[in-house]
Structure 1
Amino acid sequence: MLKTLIIDDEPLAHQVIKHHLQSYDDISVLASCYNATEALRYLAQQSVDLLLLDINMPALSGIELLKVLHNRPAVVIISAYKEFAIEGFELDVVDYLLKPVSAPRLFSALDKVRRRAAAVTPPVLSYIVLKVDREQRKFQLHDISLLEAYGNYVKLWQGEQMTLVSSTLKQLLQQLPPSQFVQVHKSFIVNRNNIIAVDSAQIRLQGNQLVKVGKLYRPGLAGLL
């Protein structure tokens, strides 16, 4: 059963999608959200398998939602705007449908979601190998508390110990398990297991290290603890 959340600011769009989904026994629509902020609050309390997501919404767009969403489920974008398709696929959405969505096109998208869900889950990483000066060095993931952008390098913090590694924050984010590491600012990635307190502007890690939270990432703070 695919637990599904519909996110769209147009009530009619919800009706159309729900009508198409009536014929599927393996799709369970848990809720309908009418803006991205409402969706973030819901997802902080409830896990889902699939988002059926609009792009053009007030305050926070669908693309912006995906950028700040932690532990992102499978996503199918349903939008009236085709110009965001490339950016959507760069964020690893399963499919991109144009409104008005037809039943056959939605069927094809859902089939892709099922095939992705059935794929073999890769083994969980326990360490990462990074370049430090001229050598390759192994770092245990549970020891990493914070990653901080520093030009073409990254400051890797293990508590109070800092190591300068040859990488960019974007490259590291693609290698780290999203269930354990989350970006909270354009310059910072934190280990969720090291977070002990959160407020609207910063995160406190073990050892009382404070990390600034970027404005774009604040809507997703509720799900960090």
Structure 2
Amino acid sequence: MRCLIIDDEPLALELLEDNIKQVEYLQLTGSCRNATQAIQILQEQNIDLIFCDIQMPGISGLQLVKSLAQKPLVIFVTAYEQFAIDGFELDVVDYLLKPVSFERFLKACNKAHAMFELNKKQPEPTATDKPRKYLFVYADYNLIKISHDDITYIEGLKDYVKLYATNLPKPILSRITIKALEEQLPADQFFRVHKSYIVNLDHLHSIRKGRIKIGDAEIPFSENYKDAINRMTGKIQ
């Protein structure tokens, strides 16, 4: 199981890292000091289990878990017992109170491992399952919820994206790669037409001479993404 630790206390990180090394079915993929770092990793990697503190600067552990579209298994590790009810309402595997003995830690891990093995045997989601119609992006120290339908297009800027939407007064700048964001969007609605641009087909107005018109904006498309244009329109004019 690929796991991630999220805790703002260096000592807590070290203890969890040591415990994880003693459990043969756990593979530590990273340790984060805050939710912002964790969001980046969760968007770029497949994580099966997270060990998460609750009281952290900025976004709390509860807020982080609530925001995840595809939630891995979660074990909260915290010094505050008053958040236990909130934690279990998020269907977490376990709620550990610091300081945590290795025996208690192993019990929680075994429970997570059993759930992980059971989930692997579950059938894949069918076409009748209701997909999510929104996503969360981190910007200006907030997790911002944006409906897929409101997004007009997305511009990639190295490790950031600039996201344009009809209900926003200005574009949102978020630290995530365009590839990672593309994987969160429905493939029948959003199309990568250039290494730096993704467009929402529902807002597309016209295509002409290597340019795509969306509202008042003109987006370039690349010959390298000609297949995406063909899937979108049937042909290029």
| TM-score, normalised relative to structure 2 | 0.59
1:195/1:75 CA distance change after superposition, 3 Å: farther
Looking at structure 2, the residues matched to 49 and 70 of structure 1 have their Cα atoms a distance apart, in angstroms, of: 14
| Equivalent runs, 1:2-41 vs 2, <5 Å | 2-41=1-40
1:61/1:116 CA distance change after superposition, 3 Å: same
Q: Please name the residue that 1:124 is paired with.
A: 125
Root-mean-square deviation over aligned CA pairs: 3.1
1:109-163, Cα deviation, whole Å (9 max, x unpaired): 11111111111324413136xxxxxxxxxxxxxxxxxxxxxxxxxxxxxxxxxxx
1:65/1:26 CA distance change after superposition, 3 Å: same
Report the 3-state secondary structure (helix = DSSP H, G, I; strand = E; otherwise coil) of the residue aligned with 2:148: strand
**8 Å CA contact 2:135, 2:148 repeated in 1:** yes
Aligned-residue offset at 1:72: 1.4
| Equivalent runs, 1:99-110 vs 2, <5 Å | 99-110=98-109
| Equivalent runs, 1:61-76 vs 2, <5 Å | 61-76=60-75
Report the 3-state secondary structure (helix = DSSP H, G, I; strand = E; otherwise coil) of the residue aligned with 2:3: strand
Answer with 1 or 2: which has the greater Rg: 2
1:188-207, Cα deviation, whole Å (9 max, x unpaired): 6537xx88427989554xxx
1:123/1:14 CA distance change after superposition, 3 Å: same
Q: Please name the residue that 1:97 is paired with.
A: 96
**8 Å CA contact 1:36, 1:62 repeated in 2:** yes
Looking at structure 1, the residues matched to 57 and 77 of structure 2 have their Cα atoms a distance apart, in angstroms, of: 16
Aligned-residue offset at 1:30: 1.1
1:50/1:16 CA distance change after superposition, 3 Å: same
Name structure 1 gaps, 5 residues minimum: 129-175, 205-209
1:211/1:110 CA distance change after superposition, 3 Å: farther
Q: Please name the residue that 1:42 is paired with.
A: 41
**8 Å CA contact 2:50, 2:72 repeated in 1:** yes
| TM-score, normalised relative to structure 1 | 0.62
Looking at structure 2, the residues matched to 48 and 3 of structure 1 have their Cα atoms a distance apart, in angstroms, of: 5
Percent identical pairs in the alignment equals 34
Looking at structure 1, the residues matched to 175 and 70 of structure 2 have their Cα atoms a distance apart, in angstroms, of: 11
Looking at structure 1, the residues matched to 43 and 13 of structure 2 have their Cα atoms a distance apart, in angstroms, of: 21
For the pair 1:190 / 2:148, whether they are aligned, the reply is: yes
Looking at structure 2, the residues matched to 187 and 42 of structure 1 have their Cα atoms a distance apart, in angstroms, of: 19
1:78-108, Cα deviation, whole Å (9 max, x unpaired): 0001111111111121111000111111111
**8 Å CA contact 1:183, 1:190 repeated in 2:** yes
What code does the residue aligned with 1:79 have? T
What code does the residue aligned with 1:7 have? I
What code does the residue aligned with 1:44 have? Q
Q: Please name the residue that 1:113 is paired with.
A: 112
Looking at structure 2, the residues matched to 43 and 123 of structure 1 have their Cα atoms a distance apart, in angstroms, of: 21
1:123/1:47 CA distance change after superposition, 3 Å: closer
Looking at structure 1, the residues matched to 55 and 161 of structure 2 have their Cα atoms a distance apart, in angstroms, of: 25
Q: Count how many residue pairs are aligned between Structure 1 and Structure 2.
A: 165
Looking at structure 1, the residues matched to 3 and 97 of structure 2 have their Cα atoms a distance apart, in angstroms, of: 19
Q: Please name the residue that 1:172 is paired with.
A: none
